């Protein structure tokens, strides 16, 4: 449905309603039942709420999960993304990069249960822009591709290196000319793959 400049009949109470739902969600992290929405918005009947929900669903703010429960969509959180305003003229706002995400967590971590954060020690990866004290976001899995930065288990020690391969087989390549590649004697065990990085400046 297009919202051109033309004003439609008695509409945009919906915007206000949406705002209240956003507030509610931000406080409780879920959407209430139709009845509760009703007296939250000052509606006396659930059919009014039902109609509202239909409108908001059509507008893309709300959706149904496979098991028919109300859930907010990404667009539902637009207001929060607008919390990072960008002055006119700033060439590249990261909102573009993250426009599909509500939070940094979600941007970086699609599978929470198999993701761990690991603090980086040492400077063996410094030429890849991975510094001592940075935090690596690691997705736990045993399969990796060449060129991936992986957490591997070598002699019972965990180490972060780039996965590489030559004629003799797989090897773990540091990103620092001062370090030598590691060639696992036996099988190479991969703990997880680094999918992101965060760093905090003090």
β-strands 149-154, 135-139: how paired? unpaired
HSE toward the beta carbon, residue 193, CA cutoff 13 A: 12
Residue 161 catalytic? yes
The answer to whether the CB of 25 falls within 8 A of the CB of 76 is yes
Closest to a second copy by CB, 47 vs 114, is 114
Give me the least distance between CB of 51 and DNA, in Å please.
5
With CB cut-offs between 5 and 8 Å by kind, which of a second copy, DNA, none does residue 39 bind? Answer: none
Q: 26, 47, 99, 161: which is the annotated catalytic residue?
A: 161
Give me the least distance between CB of 7 and DNA, in Å please.
4
Closest to DNA by CB, 30 vs 95, is 30
Q: 26, 101, 124, 145: which is the annotated catalytic residue?
A: 124
**Size of the chain, expressed as the number of residues it contains:** 202
Give me the least distance between CB of 43 and a second copy, in Å please.
15
With CB cut-offs between 5 and 8 Å by kind, which of DNA, a second copy, none does residue 177 bind? Answer: none
β-strands 169-173, 157-166: how paired? antiparallel
Closest to DNA by CB, 58 vs 104, is 58
DSSP annotation string for 31-44: ---HHHHHHHHT-S
Residues with catalytic roles: 124, 161
């Amino acid at each position: 449905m297009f919202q051109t400049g033309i004003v439609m009949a008695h509409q945009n109470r919906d915007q206000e309603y949406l705002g209240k739902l956003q507030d509610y969600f931000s406080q409780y992290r879920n959407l209430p039942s139709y009845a509760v929405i009703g007296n939250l918005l000052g509606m006396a009947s659930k059919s009014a709420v039902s109609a509202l929900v239909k409108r908001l669903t059509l507008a893309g703010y709300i959706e149904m999960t496979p098991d028919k429960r109300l859930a907010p969509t990404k667009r539902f959180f637009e207001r929060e993304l607008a919390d990072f305003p960008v002055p006119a003229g700033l060439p590249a706002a990261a909102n573009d990069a993250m426009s599909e995400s509500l939070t940094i967590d979600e941007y970086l971590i699609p599978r929470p249960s198999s993701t761990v954060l690991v603090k980086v020690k040492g400077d063996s990866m410094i030429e890849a822009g991975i510094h001592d004290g940075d935090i690596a976001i690691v997705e736990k899995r045993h399969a990796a591709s060449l060129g991936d930065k992986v957490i591997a288990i070598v002699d019972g020690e965990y180490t972060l290196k780039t996965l590489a391969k030559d004629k003799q087989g797989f090897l773990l390549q540091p990103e620092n000319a001062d370090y030598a590649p590691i060639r696992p004697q036996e099988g190479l065990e991969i703990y997880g793959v680094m999918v992101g990085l965060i760093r905090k400046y003090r």
